[in-house]
Structure formats: C-alpha cells, structure tokens
Structure 1
Amino acid sequence: MARRSAVGRGRDTAVVDETAPPGRALASSVDPWGLPAGDPAEHRRGGRGRGGGGDGPRGGRWGGSGGRWWVWAGRAVLWALILVILVNGVRAPFERFTAEDDPAATPAGGSGPKPARGAGFPTSAAGAFALQFANVYLNYDQKTAPAREAQLRTFLPDGADPQFGWNGAGKMQVQSVQVAGVDARDASNATVTLLARTADQWLRLAVPVYADRNGSLVVSARPALLPPPTKAKLPQSGVQDRDTALESELQPFLGTFFQEYATGNQAALSRFSSTGATIAGLANTVRFMQVKEVVAPKGSAGERTVTATVVWQLAQGGGGELDQTYRLAMVKKGTTWLVRDIRGTTEPSAS
C-alpha cells in the first residue's frame, strides 16, 4: 500500500490512506468532531494519547461523560414543571369551590370583593325624597284635596291614583317626619322607613322608592303603615362601688367649672383643661343653677371618669329648669383635678 506525506503542521504529520474511499478521507479532514491527527494506535485506545485523558471523541460522536449532567438537569426541570402543573390543577378547583361559599370572595370575572347588598343605590337622596313625599302624603284635608293631588304628582309614577289611596274624606296633619332608615335591596329599589308624629301618636311609614341609572326617583308603590318602635327596658346597671370621698371632693370643683361652662368664658375655661385644649362652653344660652349629683367609681388615684348631673335654667325657657347628665374624664395634677374631656353620658340611668 503506497503512502505519501500530507502538508505538515508543526511537528506532527498527517497520514492519508490513499486506498480509503475519497469521501471518508474528506470527511475526516473537515469534520470538527472527527479524529485528531496523531498515532492511529492512540485512536484505537480511545484517544488516550498525547494531550488526551479520560474519554475523548470516538467515531465522530462525543461519547464522554462530560455532558451527562445536562441530561440530569433537564430531567430535574421537567419534573419540577410537572409538579407545578399538578399542584395548580388540584388547587384551582378547591379555590373556586371555597370562593362560592365566601360572601366576600371575588366574583367571577371581577377584581374585588362582591358588592354589598344595595350597593349603588342613592340612599341619601332617596331618604330626602321620601321625607318630602311623606309631608304631602300624611297631610290631607278634604277642603284642599286638589292642592294635595297637584303636589303628589311630583312623586308618583305616571298613571298612578292622583290621591294615592286617599278617599278624599276627613283631615289629618302630622307635626314632624324623620328618616329612620333606608333598606336598599339592589341598585334601583329600596324601602325608606320614616317616623312621623301626630298630635297624639307616633307613626312608622315604609315608602318604596325606585331609582333609575340617571338618579331620578319615584315612589314605586303605595306606602305601608308599620308599628312604631317599642320602648326598650334598661338593663340593671349603675356604679356599684362608688368613691364617695372623691365625689365630695369634686362637687365644689365641678360647680365652679360648670359656672364657666355656661358662660363659655375661654380664658376661665382654659384653667380647667388638663391638656390646654379649648373647652367650648354654652355661650350664655343657659344659666347655671347647681351640680345636683356626682358619681365617681373607684379606680386609679390620678385618673377617673365621672358623671355629673347639672341643673340648667334655659335663657328662653321662661324660668324652666332642666337636669342634664355629663360624662367627664378627669386627670389629677398635683393636688388639683382637671378636665380632659366632657361629653354627654353613655351610661344608662333611669333617674
């Protein structure tokens, strides 16, 4: 077998077998994964020749273990993806099931909690509208029936009974009407409850009101009289453990304080404030008569909340007097008690 030398590169010389098929020789010279130049015996030993070590290229393929970690990394990513899909697939139906039972859950296709019942209904406007209606509806006189009919027309739907259920006889007049509450069923319909006072009784009136998208209002049906609110019975309460010594101590102090409170003298009232904040008085709308009672529960030596019953004579009352009860938060600084806050009492009392 004849041999010839190829172009030399450095100290090594490539050897070409002229009897090999031309295509194979060409492939060996251009394939970057082909066999490197060197001793053919080294190739047969797996490439453990000069500069080689471990696994090397064999027959045009990379057969070493250097790329195995890519395989394991790919498998780990694949299993992680499968695990995420499984978890989400189990969780999603559970979340939809619990959301249907939760009244505050996000509605389907929404981005926030479910709206409250009656959300969007113009509550304040409907209350004022029903109040004006009731002042016409609850006042009638057979001598002025046409005037009542004309006034009602503003509140009633087209085609409604002009007198809205009144038979045109008799006379009725209410002294006052107030809104007691608005029960909105949805964004368009609500029942406005009113309290009305006649000469000798209370009335409770339920007025159905409809609101359209433009904010226009109409009485949608005939009103209904309901029983007036019943009188509640106070629970048995009151201060069981009273600090009588403190009550006696505070009696003259509060007498002086309420004298200035009646006049509204800011310079004088500022001396009674524990914080230096302004205490607004009654600006001579009343005349102080006396502190009738002080009730102080036992507690902290330097801070106490007490109630005081004060007798006022109204400036416009023609000599009439009123007993009124106040709640005072008191703070002791040194030997002097000062007022931190004054307001109406919240404690039940039958006296």
Structure 2
Amino acid sequence: MIGLPDPGDWEARKQRRAKKKAKATGAAGAGVSPGAVPPQMTNPWETAARQLQEQRTDPAAVSAARPATAPEPSTAGPAAAPWTVVDEHSGAAFARRFGRGVLWALVGALALLGAKSVLVPKNTPAPAQQAAPAQSGPAYPADEARAVAARYARAYLAWDEKTPETRAAMLATVLPEGADTAAGWDGHGRQDVLAVEPGTVTPAAQRQARVRVDVLVRPAAPAAPKPGAPAAPAPPAYWVGLDVPVVQAGGRVVISGPPGMVGVPASGPAAPELDGPQADAPFSDQTTETVKQFFTAYAAGQTETVTAPGAVVPPLPSGIALVAVESWTADQGGGADRTGTARVTWQLGGAHLEQSYRVRLTRVVAASAQRWQVAAVLGGTTT
C-alpha cells in the first residue's frame, strides 16, 4: 500500500545474490582484487522507511527525486542501519496500552482480595440452628405410685400396741431396703383404717413424686377407767389427708421419706349451673309405667323380662327393695331411641335412699304391635 517491496520478493532476491556472490568469489581473475571488501546489500525495508520519512518531510521533493522504477539495492555503502520504529498516530497503540493497564489493574485487585481473605478471616455468621425438639422422658408411673402410696397410708395410720410387728411387716413391703419400719410411731395406742382413697400424683425432679391420699380412720375406744366399769364409746371416724413422697428406683416405686398429714376440705367448690334437656311431657306420661316396671324388676333381679332384646342390665344385689319411682322425665327428641331421667327411692339398711338414673328406651316392634323397653340404665344425671 505504501510502495514497500513484498517480503517474499526480497527473500528470493537475497538468495539469488548470495549465489552470484559465491560464484564471483570462487572464480579467479574476475577483476576483483584479493583485498577488496565485498559489497554489502542494502535492506529494502530500510530504504522504504527512509523514503517514507522524506515524503513526510517534503512530499514534493521526494516525488521529483523518486525514480520511475524501484532502484536496485546498492552494493556499496556503509553497514545496514538498524530498523527504525515508526511512531503510530492511530488509536491502536493507545488501545494496547489501555488494555495492558486494565489487565494489570485486575491482577492487582485479585491479589489484594486473596491477601485479605488470608490475613483477615471472614466473619460468617453461624447458620441458625433449629431448636431440638424437647425430649421428654417416659411418663411417670402414676398408677403404680397411687397403689404404693395407698398401701403405705393404710399401714402407716393403722397400729396396735399389742401387735406392732404387723404394722412393721406391712410397711416393709413399700419402704426402701434397710429403712426404719417404725416410721415415726412410738409403739402405743390403737387406730383402725376404714378406707383409703389415693388421689393426685404430682411428679417432681429426679423421678420423685408426691401422692395425695385421703384416709378414713377411727381411733380405738379408750380403756375403762376402772375394772368392771362400762367402756367408753368409740370416737367417730374422720378423714385425714396424707401427702406421701415416692421415688422410682430399680424399676419400682418406693416411699422416699416420711409423709405429712394435711387437712381435708370441709366442702367442695360451688357447682356450675348446667343446662338440662327440655322435657317431653306427653312421651313421659306414655312411658312412665314402663319405667316403673323396669325398676321393680331391677330390684328383684329379673331384668330379662323388662329389657329390650340384646340389652344386658345386671340386677341389683339382694336386700334392696324399691320404694317408689318418684319421677320420670323424658327428653325432647324423636326416633326409635329416647332418653330420660328417673328419680328412685330405695330401701336398704333400714333406711330410705333417693337416687337418680339416666334411662335409655328403645322401641320394639313385633308383628303389628310395638312397645317401649329399657335398653340401658346409668346412675347419675350426667347427660
């Protein structure tokens, strides 16, 4: 494009001249003196560069002095000068410098980041750990605790100075091995236990628990003041509360320490007002005789004749007689099964005792006839 010779042509020419030079050197009497210095070839790239430099300095003079054809390389003259680097005035040099700068800047940034990661540990917050589900141990053996506490309470509050070994033997079955079987008793007096009612079990730490036991006791009558004098009447029985400490050890529940006597409330809390079912007066009148027949047979032990097919109602024990069915109120409803409340008075133990029952009736159909019969009976008024 700028008049420079093709490098391929230059190489070909160079090889041809080298061959000619070899021939000239080997031929004798070629007109060259033995001490003459062989001519040096001119580099066409240097010539082209010099011409381009002259053209930039004075384009008119160069144009006038330029020969019509490319000059042959000079065979004489000083040694070839080194290649002259031409300054580039386009954006290529700037682009190369800018690219190298960006590359070195990137390398420096990566080096700084690597050094920071080594010298300054990254404080990465620990991942939030999920709360481990609460692992509860096996449920406390409340039934066994009640049984052990009830046996202990019966033996603990019953004594007879004439047979102290009886109490000691009963206590030993629920006390730890080697425990004192006297359990705080001084060995005097006499007291009987009439009833034992275990209640609430309150678990505590280290497999311990506290069991509430209500005990009905009756002290023995005091001895007569004088021989032959009438014996004093026996004191009345009364309830006493007992908090019994127990512990589970070796696969069993045993008494872990002395108990403490506590009071028994004189009365319970006030009962809430409960909404009862609405009464069905016509149906109550229709089935009153059926209910009376049932309770009469119930006391006589002949329930099979007054109950519905398939119903099982065990009879009452002997010695109980029906005085009267005081009332029968059927609940509102419909269908083949109906329920109501009966108030009944019984005679037993030389006294009259009024009680309440929930009675379920079912309609039994046979051929063209139908009647109501008792299918179940439950004590109380719970609906």
Considering the TM-score relative to the shorter chain, is it more than 0.5? yes
The RMSD of aligned alpha carbons is: 3.4
Residues 1:267 and 1:322: Cα distance change in structure 2 (over 3 Å): same
Residues 1:93 and 1:342: Cα distance change in structure 2 (over 3 Å): farther
**Structure 2 counterpart of 1:277, from 298, 307, 311:** 311
Contact kept, 8 Å, 1:174 with 1:198, in 2: the verdict is: yes
Distance across 2 between alignment mates of 1:117 and 1:159: 28
1:290 aligns with 2:324: yes
- In the alignment, structure 2 segments of 5+ residues that lack a partner are 1-126, 219-236
Partner residue of 2:153? 134
Contact kept, 8 Å, 1:262 with 1:283, in 2: the verdict is: yes
Distance across 2 between alignment mates of 1:150 and 1:323: 43
Distance across 2 between alignment mates of 1:137 and 1:259: 45
- 1:179 is displaced (CA, Å) by 1.8
Partner residue of 2:379? 344
Residues 1:290 and 1:238: Cα distance change in structure 2 (over 3 Å): farther
Contact kept, 8 Å, 1:117 with 1:184, in 2: the verdict is: no
Q: How does 1:49-128 map to 2 (within 5 A)?
A: 96-97=130-131, 99-100=132-133, 107=135, 114-115=136-137, 117-118=139-140, 121=141, 123-128=142-147
Q: Which moved more, 1:163-172 or 1:293-302?
A: 163-172
Contact kept, 8 Å, 2:327 with 2:342, in 1: the verdict is: yes
| Matched residue count | 234
- 1:222 is displaced (CA, Å) by 1.1
Q: How does 1:1-351 map to 2 (within 5 A)?
A: 96-97=130-131, 99-100=132-133, 107=135, 114-115=136-137, 117-118=139-140, 121=141, 123-141=142-160, 148-149=167-168, 152-157=171-176, 163-167=182-186, 171-185=190-204, 188-199=207-218, 200-215=237-252, 217-229=253-265, 230-237=267-274, 239=276, 241-265=278-302, 267-269=304-306, 272-273=307-308, 276-282=310-316, 284-300=318-334, 302-314=336-348, 317=349, 319-332=350-363, 336-347=371-382
Residues 1:345 and 1:148: Cα distance change in structure 2 (over 3 Å): closer
Distance across 1 between alignment mates of 2:170 and 2:358: 47
Distance across 2 between alignment mates of 1:150 and 1:116: 32
Spell out structure 1 runs of 4+ moving beyond 6 A. none
Contact kept, 8 Å, 2:159 with 2:192, in 1: the verdict is: yes
Residues 1:295 and 1:238: Cα distance change in structure 2 (over 3 Å): farther
- In the alignment, structure 1 segments of 5+ residues that lack a partner are 1-91, 108-113
Distance across 1 between alignment mates of 2:158 and 2:318: 38
Identity of aligned residues (%): 29
Contact kept, 8 Å, 2:280 with 2:330, in 1: the verdict is: yes
Contact kept, 8 Å, 2:203 with 2:209, in 1: the verdict is: yes
Larger radius of gyration: 2
- 1:155 is displaced (CA, Å) by 4.1
Residues 1:301 and 1:159: Cα distance change in structure 2 (over 3 Å): closer
- 1:195 is displaced (CA, Å) by 0.9
3-state SS of paired residue (1:165): coil
Contact kept, 8 Å, 1:117 with 1:185, in 2: the verdict is: no
Distance across 1 between alignment mates of 2:150 and 2:185: 18
- Residues 221-242 of structure 1 show CA distances to partners (whole Å, capped at 9, x for unaligned) of 1101223254132223464743
- 1:293 is displaced (CA, Å) by 0.9
Residues 1:278 and 1:172: Cα distance change in structure 2 (over 3 Å): closer
